[in-house]
């Protein structure tokens, strides 16, 4: 009989808002059940520290210098201990059931597949030592550094979630052609049809919108897209941006870092018009990818699913737009326990960590452009 593992995934994405945490039960293949989700928000002070150190890096060489600095080491310790706080709370302290496997992604500091380099902030050794005194965590296997092996084998190192998307759709017994879209800082897509899978990053998700809103309105994000809804889209600027992007992405697996985009070319727009234009762009990169596919339904997850300006623009395409929170099993109309669009990636890293532990591939030529199906993630050993 196949062993079922209790796995915990920790994910902090490119939006830099906090730590998403999920507990699932899985065999790393077909068995999947969702147990718990939790979230720990970063303080404004920590967000500023992360942005400050990221802003110092414009090349792989600079990143390698930064990670040897005391500033980086202090930040890595602070972030790691917040992950410890988050997982101890979610795992129920000593009264909880044992966690077999922990997927610890960390925060991406720099990601450049062309240089065969990626680096995530976080210290697996420190995390392992910090949880060792808790009886339900002391024997947990910590899996980290998920992206490097894919890059070293010719892949883009991202997106890594598609194999989980495939498992999740099987769990929901949804078999029609579908496009699963994660709108985080970067937007990535997974296309599933007749057992085939293809995935890629398609462009900016929330990263440019968030930066624009911070610079112009001193808010962290455009809540529900309210500011964007009050602006007017500048289609000329939007189309210039989209045309340049499309030249790069045609028929390729591509991985983007937030540093690949900036808002300079939008600076001549009025504040609300800039927000509207950036929300339009986020929707349009998805529609541009989807337009030639055999496809009726697009399923949205990630923080961008709350932006009504993005959703309104998506609904101008010829697709059924569903939020993953509202998706039901094709077998009945009941909502699925713990299916929450904020936690798909943390669930994914619990699943990926289990596959890593079992030495199963987590990336594929069709998902990252890697040369052949590739294992990833390192198991921390004392």
The reply to whether 166 falls in a domain is: no
The reply to whether 332 falls in a domain is: no
- Residue 303's Cβ-side half-sphere holds a number of Cα atoms within 13 Å equal to 22
With a cut of 90, say whether residue 201 has pLDDT above it.
yes
Claim to verify: residue 206 and residue 145 sit in the same structural domain: no
Claim to verify: residue 311 and residue 189 sit in the same structural domain: yes
**pLDDT tens, position by position, 19-62:** 999 999 999 999 999 999 999 999 999 999 999 999 999 999 99
Q: Whole-angstrom Cα distance, residue 20 to residue 343? A: 6
The reply to whether 333 falls in a domain is: no
Say what the pTM is: 0.93
Q: Whole-angstrom Cα distance, residue 311 to residue 27? A: 35
With a cut of 50, say whether residue 94 has pLDDT above it.
no
Provide the domain count of the chain: 2
- Mean pLDDT, rounded, for 197-220: 95
Q: Is 321 within 8 Å of 296 (Cβ atoms)?
A: no
Claim to verify: residue 294 and residue 269 sit in the same structural domain: yes
Helix (H, G, I), strand (E, B) or coil at 362: coil
Domain of residue 296: give its range: 175-326
In this predicted structure, what is the pLDDT of residue 219?
93
For residue 152, the surrounding DSSP H or E stretch is: helix 148-152
Claim to verify: residue 121 and residue 92 sit in the same structural domain: yes
Q: Is 358 within 8 Å of 351 (Cβ atoms)?
A: no
Claim to verify: residue 18 and residue 121 sit in the same structural domain: yes
Q: Whole-angstrom Cα distance, residue 187 to residue 203? A: 6
Claim to verify: residue 133 and residue 252 sit in the same structural domain: no
Claim to verify: residue 311 and residue 191 sit in the same structural domain: yes
The reply to whether 52 falls in a domain is: yes
Query: What is the per-residue burial (b if ≥16 Cβ within 10 Å, else e) of 221-237?
Result: bbeebebbbebebbeeb
Sign of CA dihedral 247, 250, 254, 256: positive
Claim to verify: residue 84 and residue 192 sit in the same structural domain: no
Claim to verify: residue 315 and residue 354 sit in the same structural domain: no
Contacts of 342 (CB under 8 A, 6+ apart): 20, 37, 39, 301, 302, 303
Q: For residue 21, what are its two tokens?
A: 């945490």
Banded model confidence at residue 259, pLDDT cuts 50, 70, 90: confident
Phi, psi of 37 (to 5 degrees): -125, 150
**pLDDT tens, position by position, 121-162:** 999 999 999 999 898 898 999 999 999 999 999 999 999 999
- Mean pLDDT, rounded, for 345-367: 97
With a cut of 90, say whether residue 194 has pLDDT above it.
no
Query: Measuring CA to CA, how many Å separate 86 from each of 9, 13, 91, 361?
Result: 11, 15, 9, 28
Claim to verify: residue 289 and residue 348 sit in the same structural domain: no
- Mean pLDDT, rounded, for 253-261: 86
């Amino acid at each position: 009989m196949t062993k079922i593992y209790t796995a915990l995934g920790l994910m902090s994405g490119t939006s830099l808002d906090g730590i998403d945490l999920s507990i699932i039960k899985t065999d790393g293949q077909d068995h999947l059940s969702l147990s718990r989700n939790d979230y720990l928000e970063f303080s404004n002070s920590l967000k500023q520290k992360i942005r400050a150190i990221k802003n110092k890096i414009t090349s792989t060489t600079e990143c390698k210098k930064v990670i040897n600095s005391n500033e980086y080491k202090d930040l890595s310790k602070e972030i790691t201990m917040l992950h410890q706080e988050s997982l101890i709370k979610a795992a129920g302290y000593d009264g909880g059931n044992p966690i077999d496997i922990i997927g610890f992604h960390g925060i991406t500091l720099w990601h450049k597949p062309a240089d065969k380099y990626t680096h995530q902030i976080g210290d697996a050794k420190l995390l392992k030592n910090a949880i060792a005194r808790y009886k339900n965590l002391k024997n947990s296997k910590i899996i980290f550094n998920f992206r490097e092996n894919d890059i070293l084998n010719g892949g883009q190192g991202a997106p890594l979630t598609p194999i989980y998307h495939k498992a999740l759709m099987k769990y929901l017994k949804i078999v029609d052609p579908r496009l699963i879209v994660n709108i985080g800082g970067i937007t990535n897509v997974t296309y599933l049809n007749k057992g085939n899978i293809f995935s890629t990053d398609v462009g900016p998700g929330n990263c440019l919108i968030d930066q624009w809103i911070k610079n112009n309105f001193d808010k962290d994000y455009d809540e529900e897209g309210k500011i964007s809804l009050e602006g007017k889209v500048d289609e000329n600027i939007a189309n210039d941006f989209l045309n340049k992007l499309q030249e790069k992405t045609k028929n390729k697996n591509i991985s983007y870092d937030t540093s690949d985009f900036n808002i300079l070319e939008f600076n001549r727009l009025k504040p609300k018009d800039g927000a509207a234009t950036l929300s339009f762009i986020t929707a349009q990169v998805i529609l541009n990818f989807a337009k030639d596919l055999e496809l009726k339904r697009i399923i949205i997850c990630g923080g961008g699913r709350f932006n009504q300006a993005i959703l309104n623009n998506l609904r101008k395409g010829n697709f059924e737009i569903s939020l993953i929170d509202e998706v039901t099993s094709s077998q009945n109309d009941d909502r699925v326990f713990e299916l929450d669009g904020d936690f798909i990636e943390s669930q994914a890293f619990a699943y990926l960590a289990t596959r890593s532990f079992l030495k199963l591939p987590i990336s594929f030529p069709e998902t990252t452009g890697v040369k052949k199906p590739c294992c990833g993630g390192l198991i921390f050993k004392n």
